[in-house]
Structure 1
Amino acid sequence: MSAVLPDVSVTDLAPMLSPLEWVGMQGIDLPVTIDEPGYHRELHATADVQVDLPAPQVKGIHMSRLYRLLDSWGQERQVSPAHIRELLNSMIESHHDCDSRSARIRLVFDLLIRRSALVTEGLSGWKSYPVQVNASLIEGAFSLSIEITIGYSSTCPCSAALSRQLIEEGFLQTFSHQPLIEPAAVAQWLRANASLATPHSQRSEARVSVSVGQEYPNLGLSVLINAVENALGTPVQTAVKRADEQAFAALNGQNLMFVEDAARRIRATLADYSNPKVHVRHLESLHPHDAAAWSATHTQGLHHGK
């Protein structure tokens, strides 16, 4: 088997002479290493990689070159702005014979973070955060953004007000004719009737995107997640006991929010990031449809988690 194998992508001309904006592969399985302060882990990712094909006569790019570069990069490099730009440069250089001048990559993975219970000491569990990293190097201009989906709980302020009104009416019906009320009697009534009406709550999600400068040493994923969860105040929990469930109920009661409130809270906490975009969804328990809000501002951020 010493015969030279044919490579029609090189020897044949394209039957229709036209450039192509992007050519490459999607859905490549890849191990990636995330290394940030307090977090170091190898994760499974899927990658999309492409280069441009401006030469109209070139029949096809060299897919195997992209695959081998990506495979080697995933084994040898942690995911950081500098290392991503390095990969994109290599992708372009590997296709000099196709006149390629631009490259892009998308990485999709779930960031696993161990979260402690709210109250119970020593109790914790894993929480998954879907992440998408998008980067491009287009004729020398590098851009990189991260998008993270963060789960939280939301309790409707309107529903809470309506519930409180019913409880108030029930209390007045019981005690309006009593000039003096013993605290023990009130406490007993509350134990039996405080849930006469309850506000509706639901699992919700925030999809947050920010730009990351190439000068930063890492993507700042955990810093961004913590900032958003702190702004919302009601992150979904992993392992819980009754004391933790009670503490979670208290957090929800103290953080009533419409979908608009959630979007504004997140936008405010992202004020120092570049090009923040927010999309929140409350997966309604009252309705068969979702409530949603969006916010986007194009700014040059002053801060990034290092």
Structure 2
Amino acid sequence: MSSALPDVSVTDLASSFSPLQWVGMQGIDLPIRIEESTYLREVHARADVQVDLPAPHVKGIHMSRLYRLLDAWGQAAAVSPANLFQLLQEMIDSHQDCASRNARLRLDFDLLVRRPALVTDGLSGWKSYPVHLLASKVGGTLNLSIEVKIGYSSTCPCSAALSRQLIEDGFLQTFKGQPLLEASAVAQWLRSNASLATPHSQRSEARVRVAVPVDAPGLGLLALIDKVEGALRTPVQTAVKRADEQAFAALNGQNLMFVEDAARRIQASLHEYRETHVHVRHLESLHPHDASAWSVPQAPAH
């Protein structure tokens, strides 16, 4: 074997002289550590890493350099804004021979969190929250955002009103002409007929993206998730007994919402965040299509 292996990315010129906005790799398997308050867990992530290639004559970047930097970074410490930006700078520095000035990183992973049952003491289960993290350094400006998908239940207010009307009509028809009613008779009728009509509800999902300040001590994933679930008030459950299922039914009955209501509730809960984007989908049980709503980004909090 030759002692000097060929490297055509260095010795050959590009076939067409033109700069490229981004060059790199996608879908790199990587273990990373996520640490937030009492939460510390190693998760499986998939990473995309790229730098720009402004030098038109350079045939290709050095992808092995990016891979080695990413691999070492994943083993070093829990993910934070500070070490994300340090990694981006190291990516740029590693490609000075390509005149690179910009770098970006995307991480996709699931945040697995144990959630307690609504009522039953000691009962809990695992809930997964898909996360997309985007970090970049472009033109000397650092940017970091996180997007989380959160599942919840939604019960249609219109369907609930129509159902109540049917129950009301049934009640009036049954007790028509009876001036006095015994409470026990009413209770018996309700036990048999209160579900004469039931409103439709569906599993729903919210995708929430916010900017993370450059100087933030952490990502704030759990805080963001808790704010959204607190605004919606009907997050999907994991382990349940009958008492928990009943409590969940009560929450849905007390929190009727159109897709517009859900989007507005979430947006109102995010007043302290910057560059908030909200997309909600109600995966309809009435229709073969979904109902969706998007919110406009809000002005920075002061």
**TM-score, normalised to structure 2's length?**
0.99
The aligned counterpart of 2:297 is 297
SS in 2 for 1:296: coil
Unaligned runs of 5+ in 1: none
The answer to whether the 8 Å contact 1:232/1:265 transfers is: yes
SS in 2 for 1:35: strand
Matches of 2:299 and 2:29, distance apart in 1: 34
- Superposed displacement of residue 176, structure 1: 1.8
The aligned counterpart of 1:7 is 7
Matches of 1:17 and 1:137, distance apart in 2: 25
The aligned counterpart of 2:152 is 152
Superposed CA offset, 1:243-291 (max 9, x none): 0000000000000000000000000001110000000000000000000
Using the aligned pairs only, state the percent identity: 73
Superposed CA offset, 1:185-238 (max 9, x none): 000000000000000000000000000011001100000000000000000000
SS in 2 for 1:137: strand
Q: How does 1:106-145 map to 2 (within 5 A)?
A: 106-145=106-145
**TM-score, normalised to structure 1's length?**
0.98
- Superposed displacement of residue 296, structure 1: 2.1
Q: How does 1:110-259 map to 2 (within 5 A)?
A: 110-259=110-259
Letter in 2 for 1:251: L
Matches of 2:258 and 2:104, distance apart in 1: 37
Matches of 2:70 and 2:51, distance apart in 1: 13
Matches of 1:13 and 1:2, distance apart in 2: 23
Aligned residue pair count? 302
The aligned counterpart of 1:28 is 28
The answer to whether the 8 Å contact 1:163/1:198 transfers is: yes
The aligned counterpart of 1:64 is 64
The aligned counterpart of 1:98 is 98
- Superposed displacement of residue 177, structure 1: 1.3
1:42 is the counterpart of 2:38: no
- Superposed displacement of residue 301, structure 1: 3.4
Letter in 1 for 2:78: Q
The aligned counterpart of 1:75 is 75
The answer to whether the 8 Å contact 1:277/1:296 transfers is: yes
The answer to whether the 8 Å contact 1:130/1:148 transfers is: yes
Q: Please, which moves more after superposition, 90-99 or 289-298?
A: 289-298
RMSD: 0.8
Q: Which runs of 4+ in 1 moved over 3 A?
A: none
SS in 2 for 1:136: strand
Matches of 2:121 and 2:265, distance apart in 1: 29
Letter in 1 for 2:3: A
- Superposed displacement of residue 2, structure 1: 4.9
The answer to whether the 8 Å contact 1:116/1:122 transfers is: yes
- Superposed displacement of residue 179, structure 1: 1.0
Matches of 1:267 and 1:101, distance apart in 2: 35
Superposed CA offset, 1:17-40 (max 9, x none): 000000000000001111111211
Letter in 1 for 2:230: N
